[in-house]
Structures are given as structure tokens and as C-alpha cells.
Amino acid sequence: MEDMESVTSYDSIKNNPKSLHLLMNQFVHIELIQKRSINGYIHAIDPEGYSIILLEPRGDNYQTILIPGHSILNLSVVDSKPIIKPEEKAIHKSTTDLVERRRKLMSWFKKNQLSVTEKDDEIVLGSVIILPPYDITSIYSTNLIVTKHVRDIVEKMPDNFVED
């Protein structure tokens, strides 16, 4: 992971999709407007409004908190993580499933006459980057309109789509 500990200004990282993706499941300290702060695990980041869903430790449980993007001033990854990390509820896909999903999605874009390329494990579609697991929650771009159009195209791909 990049050196996120030194990057604390949220404005400096929110326009970098890779930096946002690297924050997922990290234990962070967030400074908010009105001189408030909060600690917890980042569960999700809205790539459009930059709001964060945070899992804040509360004894043996976690409270889910939605933090609007406009209220975040600074964010830093905390080195000393609590002992109990929330269980990952997402189904971990195997590498072969991800490769198949990436090929299928790229074929779907080509069928829709869109210019698409691969860069490492990323799908690049103009100014849009799609990261694993290649679903609508892993589409990143600084252009909100383009992001929405790409999401719509991905959502329209049939489950039984067979690549050419």
C-alpha cells in the first residue's frame, strides 16, 4: 500500500481512485468539521460524493456510521489497530473467477462498441478505472456523468452473457 499515513488531507486523496480503494478495510482516524473526530474501519467509499461508511468499534460490536464527504477534513490510517476486526461479509472470489469476470466485462464493453484496455488487474475505459471484483461498486472516475453511464452499462450485462 502507498504511504497513506503521511497523506492526511482528504481532498488530496479523494480524486485518486487507487488511494480510495487502498483505504478499504483500513482502520482510520477521521477529522471532521466542527472539531470532531472518529476512528473506525472503512467499509465503503462513495466515489461520487466521497462519503464514507465507517464501522466504529463499540465494545464487542461495531456501529455503522455514514459520514458525508463534505464533512471530512483529514483522514489518516492508524497504525495501532484494535485486536478484533469486523468479519468480512463479502464473498471472496477466486483468482480464476476474477479473471473470468474481467474478460467477460471487457467483452461486454467491446460488444457495446466501447474502447477498453487492460492495465495490470485494472480495466481502463477512457477516464474510468474498474478494479477487482469488477462490479458496479468498483468503478472509479472523476467524471460523475461518465461513472454513471459505465455503471448503467455494467448493470445491463446479462448474468448469462457469453463472451465472443
Cα–Cα distance list, 128 to 12, 37, 108, 145, 149 (Å): 19, 32, 15, 11, 10
* pLDDT (0 to 100) of residue 12: 76
Tell me what pLDDT residue 152 has.
93
Identify the top-confidence range among 53-57, 115-119, 130-134.
115-119
Angstrom CA distances, 136 to 19, 109, 152, stand at 18, 14, 9
Q: Point out the least confidently predicted range of 19-23, 34-38, 156-160.
A: 19-23
Give the mean model confidence (pLDDT) for residues 35-61.
Answer: 87
The strand pairing partners of 37, in sequence order, are 31
pLDDT at 65 over 70: yes
- Arithmetic mean of pLDDT, 80-107: 71
Q: What's the average model confidence in pLDDT over 54-64?
A: 84
Structure confidence at residue 87 (pLDDT) = 56
Phi, psi of 73 (to 5 degrees): -95, -55
The answer on pLDDT for 82 being more than 60 is no
Range in 1-5, 100-104, 105-109, 128-132 the model is least confident about = 1-5
Q: What integer is the mean pLDDT of 86-103? A: 72
Q: Is the pLDDT of residue 80 over 60?
A: no
Can you give the pLDDT at residue 10? 80
Taking residues 123-132, report their average pLDDT. Answer: 90
Cα gap 79→59, rounded to integer Å:
20
Residue 4 has pLDDT above 60, yes or no: no
Give 108's contacts (C-beta < 8 A, 6+ positions apart): 153, 154, 157, 161, 163
Q: What is the mean pLDDT of residues 43-61?
A: 85
